[in-house]
C-alpha cells in the first residue's frame, strides 16, 4: 500500500478558526486543516479525526466551548439526513456565512448582504424521496455521501403539502405489497417519488419512479391516491431500470391529469413538468428575479437574450419590459414548456431557441444580433469560453449573471472583466436556507 493512503486516527481538542466553503468549522493542527461538520467558528471541541491520504473525516466527540451562533436544530433528523448542513447555526449567522463566502471569492469588490427569508422553513417546492424496506416500506432521503436511506416522515424545509402525500404513498405501497427496488440485486419495482408543489396554485405533481413499465394494481393505487389528495393534479410513471444515482429515467407515462401543473411567479403563470428545471424556492425566486430585472433596467427598445432559460421564467418577465427576448435552452421539454408559457401569458415578443447556449451565442455573434442585455443562469459548472467570447463580440451593454455556484460565476466574471466589462453589483440571495448552498447575482456593464 502506498504511504499516501495510510489511514491514521486521532483524538484531538481544537478550536474552529473559520468556515470552509461547506460551512464546516476548520481546526488547524500544525499544517493540517481539518474541516469539522457541525462545528461553529470559535467553538472548542474534542474531535475524532481520521486522516486518509490528503483527506480528513472528523466528528465532534464533545463540545467544550459553544458559540452564541449555535441554535438547537428544529429537525429531528438533522445530522443523520444529508439534506441540510447549517441548521445548528442561527439563521442570521447562516446569512453572514454566505455573504462572507461570496466576499472571499470577490476580493476587492463590494458584496452586498445576502438577501434572506422572513421564514426560512417550508420553502422547497420539490421533494425527492427514496424507498427502503425495513419490515415494511419506508421512505426518506439519502445520508450525506451515501446511499443509505434515512426514514423521514416530516421535512421542515419542504412545502407542507408534500409530506402527507408521501405518507399516503407509503401506506398504499404497503397495502398493495409493492416491491422496493434493490440497487445491489437490481430487482424490485419502487424506486423514488418526486413531488412538485405549486406555491401559489397549491397544485401538486407526483412522479412515481419505478423499475418496470408494468405497474401492479396501478388503477386502484392512483384512484386511492387522488381521492385522498385532490390537490394532486397529475401523476406520472417514470421508468428507470438503470443502475444509476440519477433519479429520473427517460421513459414516462402520464397516469393521471395532463402531465404538468401550473404555478405563478411575479404575476405570470407557468406550466411545470417533471423534468424541466424550476427554481426550488419560489419566495426567494421572486426576490432573485426582481433583483435581476432591476439590475437590467430594461427599456422599450432593448433586445434581450435570456440564456439557460429553463421554462422561460426570466424571458417572459423581461419580455414585459423589453422590445424582444430570445430564450436559449438545451432541454427539449423545458423549451416546450417555455413556448406554452408564452402562449398562456399572451406574450408574443419572445422566441425560444433550443440548443447549446455557447453554440447559439457564437451564431448570434456571427450574425451581429444587436443585443443590449444578456441574462445568464447556467448550471453549477458555469458557462464556457465559446459563450463568454461571444458576449465579448456581441458587446451587450449589460450582462446579468445569476448563479447557484459563486465559484464558477467568479471564474466566468473574471473572463469578462479582462475583456471590457466592469462589475457594478454583487448580491447573494439565500435560495437554500439551512444548506451550505449559495446563490449569487451580479451585474456587469460594458465599459465606455
Ligand atoms: N433560468 C432558468 C433556468 C436555470 S437552470 C430559471 O431560473 O428557472 C439552468 C438551465 O440551463 C437548465 O434549464 C438547463 O437545462 C440549461 N442548460 C444546461 N446546459 C445548457 C447549455 N449548454 N445550453 C443551454 N442551456 C443549458
Mean pLDDT for 28-55 is 93
Q: Is residue 425 part of a domain?
A: yes
Domain holding 428: CATH number? 3.40.50.150
Of the three residues 53, 70, 87, the one that is the final residue of a domain is 70
User: CB 60: neighbour CB atoms within 10 A?
Assistant: 17
For residue 375, the ligand 1 atom closest to its alpha carbon is 1
Q: Tell me the best of 310, 387, 439 to mutate to test the pocket of ligand 1, counting ligand atoms within 8 Å of each CB and taking the most.
A: 310
Same domain, 34 and 141: no
Distance (Å, rounded) from C-alpha 73 to C-alpha 314? 35
Catalytic residue among 24, 84, 155, 404: 404
Q: Is residue 76 part of a domain?
A: no
Q: Is residue 285 part of a domain?
A: yes
Same domain, 218 and 326: no
Number of compact structural domains in the chain: 3
Q: Is residue 100 part of a domain?
A: no
DSSP 388: H
Same domain, 317 and 197: no
Is 5's pLDDT higher than 60?
A: no
Same domain, 137 and 223: yes
Distance (Å, rounded) from C-alpha 7 to C-alpha 21? 25
More confident residue, 164 or 31: 164
Retrieve residue 342's grid coordinates.
408564452
Q: How far is the CA of 276 from the centre of ligand 1 (A)?
A: 9
Same domain, 52 and 150: no
Domain holding 193: CATH number? 2.40.50.1070
Same domain, 317 and 253: no
Span 198-230, pLDDT tens digits: 999 999 999 999 999 999 899 999 999 999 999
Is 333's pLDDT higher than 80?
A: yes
Retrieve residue 178's grid coordinates.
409493492
Domain holding 26: CATH number? 2.40.50.140
For residue 285, the ligand 1 atom closest to its alpha carbon is 7
Same domain, 433 and 290: yes
Retrieve residue 149's grid coordinates.
436511506
Using 50, 70 and 90 to split pLDDT, how confident is the model at 376?
very high
Using 50, 70 and 90 to split pLDDT, how confident is the model at 402?
very high
pTM for this one? Answer: 0.94
Same domain, 212 and 296: no
Q: Is residue 317 part of a domain?
A: yes
Is 4's pLDDT higher than 70?
A: no
Using 50, 70 and 90 to split pLDDT, how confident is the model at 6?
low
Same domain, 56 and 161: no
Find the helix packing angle between 91-105 and 406-417, rounded to 10°. 30
More confident residue, 80 or 157: 157
Same domain, 382 and 436: yes
Tell me the CA distances in angstroms from 316 to 293, 312, 348, 349, 439, one per residue in order: 11, 6, 9, 9, 21
Retrieve residue 331's grid coordinates.
432541454
Tell me if residue 84 is catalytic: no
More confident residue, 26 or 4: 26
Same domain, 194 and 230: yes
The whole-number pLDDT of residue 2 equals 46
Same domain, 150 and 213: yes
Distance (Å, rounded) from C-alpha 16 to C-alpha 43? 6
Which residue has the least CA distance to atom 16 on ligand 1?
308
Q: Is residue 119 part of a domain?
A: no
The mean pLDDT of the chain is: 95
The whole-number pLDDT of residue 30 equals 87
Based on the number of CB atoms within 10 Å of its own CB, is 427 exposed (0-12), middle (13-18) or buried (19 or more)?
A: buried
Residue 165 structural domain: 126-262
Contact 90, 111 (CB under 8 A): no
Q: Is residue 383 part of a domain?
A: yes
Q: Write out residues with Cβ below 6 Å of ligand 1.
A: 277-279, 308-310, 313-314, 328-331, 334, 356-357, 377-379
Retrieve residue 150's grid coordinates.
434515512
More confident residue, 1 or 371: 371
Q: Is residue 42 part of a domain?
A: yes
Distance (Å, rounded) from C-alpha 391 to C-alpha 314? 19
Contact 88, 38 (CB under 8 A): yes
Based on the number of CB atoms within 10 Å of its own CB, is 155 exposed (0-12), middle (13-18) or buried (19 or more)?
A: buried
Amino acid at each position: 500500500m502506498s504511504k499516501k493512503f495510510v489511514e491514521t486516527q486521532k483524538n484531538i481538542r481544537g478550536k474552529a478558526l473559520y468556515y470552509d466553503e461547506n460551512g464546516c468549522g476548520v481546526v488547524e493542527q500544525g499544517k493540517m486543516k481539518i474541516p469539522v461538520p457541525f462545528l461553529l467558528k470559535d467553538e472548542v471541541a474534542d474531535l475524532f479525526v481520521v486522516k486518509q491520504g490528503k483527506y480528513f473525516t472528523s466528528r465532534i466527540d464533545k463540545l467544550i466551548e459553544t458559540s452564541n451562533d449555535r441554535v438547537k436544530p428544529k429537525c429531528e433528523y438533522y445530522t443523520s439526513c444529508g439534506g441540510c448542513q447549517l441548521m445548528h447555526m442561527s439563521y442570521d449567522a447562516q446569512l453572514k456565512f454566505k455573504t462572507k463566502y461570496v466576499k472571499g471569492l470577490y476580493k476587492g469588490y463590494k458584496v452586498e448582504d445576502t438577501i434572506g427569508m422572513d421564514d426560512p422553513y417550508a420553502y422547497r417546492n420539490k421533494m425527492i424521496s427514496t424507498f427502503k424496506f425495513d419490515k415494511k416500506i419506508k421512505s426518506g432521503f439519502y445520508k450525506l455521501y451515501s446511499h443509505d436511506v434515512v426514514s423521514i416522515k416530516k421535512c421542515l424545509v419542504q412545502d407542507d403539502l408534500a409530506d402527507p402525500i408521501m405518507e399516503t404513498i407509503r401506506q398504499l405501497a404497503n397495502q398493495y405489497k409493492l416491491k422496493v427496488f434493490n440497487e445491489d440485486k437490481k430487482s424490485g419495482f419502487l424506486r423514488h417519488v418526486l413531488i412538485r408543489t405549486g406555491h401559489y396554485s397549491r397544485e401538486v405533481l407526483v412522479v412515481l419512479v419505478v423499475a418496470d413499465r408494468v405497474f401492479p394494481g396501478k388503477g386502484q393505487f392512483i384512484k386511492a391516491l387522488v381521492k385522498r389528495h385532490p390537490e394532486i393534479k397529475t401523476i406520472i410513471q417514470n421508468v428507470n431500470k438503470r443502475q444509476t444515482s440519477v433519479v429520473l429515467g427517460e421513459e414516462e407515462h402520464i397516469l393521471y391529469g395532463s402531465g404538468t401543473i401550473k404555478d405563478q411567479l411575479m404575476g405570470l403563470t407557468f406550466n411545470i413538468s417533471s423534468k424541466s428545471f424550476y427554481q426550488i424556492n419560489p419566495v426567494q425566486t421572486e426576490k432573485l428575479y426582481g433583483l435581476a430585472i432591476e439590475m437590467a433596467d430594461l427599456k422599450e427598445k432593448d433586445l434581450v437574450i435570456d440564456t439557460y432559460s429553463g421554462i422561460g421564467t426570466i424571458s417572459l418577465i423581461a419580455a414585459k419590459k423589453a422590445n424582444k427576448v430570445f430564450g436559449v435552452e438545451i432541454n427539449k421539454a423545458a423549451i416546450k414548456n417555455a413556448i406554452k408559457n408564452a402562449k398562456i401569458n399572451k406574450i408574443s415578443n419572445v422566441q425560444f431557441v433550443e440548443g447549446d447556449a455557447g453554440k447559439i451565442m457564437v451564431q448570434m455573434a456571427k450574425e451581429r444580433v444587436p443585443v443590449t442585455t444578456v441574462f445568464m443562469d447556467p448550471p453549477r459548472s458555469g458557462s464556457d469560453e465559446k459563450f463568454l467570447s461571444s458576449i465579448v463580440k456581441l458587446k451587450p451593454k449589460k450582462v446579468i449573471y445569476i448563479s447557484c455556484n459563486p465559484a464558477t460565476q467568479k471564474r466566468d466574471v473574471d473572463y469578462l472583466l479582462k475583456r471590457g466589462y466592469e462589475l457594478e453589483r454583487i448580491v447573494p440571495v439565500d435560495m437554500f436556507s439551512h444548506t451550505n448552498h449559495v446563490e449569487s447575482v451580479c451585474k456587469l456593464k460594458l465599459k465606455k
